[in-house]
Structure 1
Amino acid sequence: MELSFKNITKKYKSKQALTDINITLHEGVYALLGPNGAGKSTLMNILVGLIPATTGEVLLDGKNTVSLGADFRGLLGFLPQEPGFYPSFSGYDIMKYYADLKGVPDAQQRINELLELVNLASDKKRRVGQYSGGMKRRLGIAVALLNAPKILVMDEPSAGLDPEERIRLRNIISNIGFDRIVILATHIVSDVESIADECLLLKDGKLIASGTPDALKGKIAGKVWDVPCGQGDVRRYMADTPCTNIIKSDSGTCLHIVSDERPADSAVSAAPGLEDVYVYYFNERSR
């Protein structure tokens, strides 16, 4: 299966939201990374057909997805950034409603399996209006998985989830990402570092870098530093260069800094992580 974005541009009056996006995806987990306002949600909404592109097209195995219509939509699972549910419905009722819309076979069994998967089985009879934000998010994940989609699109999937549920989500995605395309739009790097097969970096509506996590980390080798410093120097370093971590120990304080230039004579080159990649590309002070 091949999903391609060809010359996708989106313009809202005077605002250019996306500019000439060209991406080709196959089965696997893709992390679409970028700060708020980068164009991630716009690109996802174009993919699932909620908004049209100004120019360009999305192709599935060479066929225009708009022309494919219901055949393409039947392959999709989508978790929007702000899922909306009828507050008077129970969690089970919501699942049944969407299962009927999607024509899910053996719906009751599938619903119960998914509610168990997202840890909502014991709350399935509660009204959604009584759910916390994280519970609604988990319900949205279950809805997105109802039709066993071949293309799963999740916009900020971990928003509102506690640490245990974020781990559960990562495990779910890891287990299903082998035989389908999974796209995770997020600005939380820790959610995808261990599960993404490839990362796509979007800034100001433009694709600025892409590659496997290891390949992207390799591109900034020699630009990440551990700097031992006294307590009085911490603010000075942080004002001049982006710091991704402050490590405190009995021997003192060490700053993990991203910079093209060696920030101090005492700085020691460090192994980059994906969070360092994010800071390098999206924080102007690192360049």
Structure 2
Amino acid sequence: MELLGYDFFQNALLGSLLTAIACGIVGTYVVARRLVFISGGITHASFGGLGLGFFLGTNPVLMALIFSVLSALGVEWVSKTQNVREDSAIAAVWSLGMALGVLFIFLTPGYSPNLSAYLFGNILTISTADIIWIAILAVVLLLLVSLFLREMIYVAFDNSFAKTQGLPVKFIEYMMMFFIAVTIVLSIRLVGIMLLMSLLTLPQMVANQFTSDFRKIMYSSIVIGFLACVIGLFLSYYINIPSGAFIILVLTVLFFGVKGVLAFTSRQ
């Protein structure tokens, strides 16, 4: 319990809660609309922004945010208006982001500080400024859900039907792509670029084992994500391994454990 007396651990817990809220809301939409591959493309495209930030000596998170938002909106626009297959556009953005990131980091004079924290995550290094930004995002997403939940569900499951109901489908699609990109960038500190896609999908997959209701999955995934972060933080501290990787390991074990138990009980 002495861990709770340290400021960095308190920041880590608060950051985990806020990130779980953001990823729970956005991730449920991602899974429902089958945008998991897009989230992976956006995540890796942000690496190009990080590299450019290091190269220019500016805030790498800000540059990653710009890269991610442009990539998300670009994929949505190209796939909807330019007769380009969505998976092809995602693959191009994914590869371009990683290639630019490697080039910019190679061209950056000296050593790029904290690069491993962006790639693999280190929630223990989260700052007060990071918490403020993710808190703003969480509040905005909660407000968004309270105002547009019905529209989000319609668009996620059947946008053709949503159009017949006169709903602003394009606005919701672009808006959610924007928030997917922002959530990805602001959550990089937690588990890193390499593992972030799992944080947007595994809690929802666990919740989906018990319910198919969009709302219940969203709220349950927030709880599951936060509990996994707390367990991962404590265990990673005592075992002395990276917290980001251990959080994803906890979620993976939880998913397969629940899947196995449900499969076993269904046979009885």
TM score, norm. by length of structure 1: 0.24
* Larger helix percent: 2
* Larger strand percent: 1
Structure of higher CA gyration radius: 1
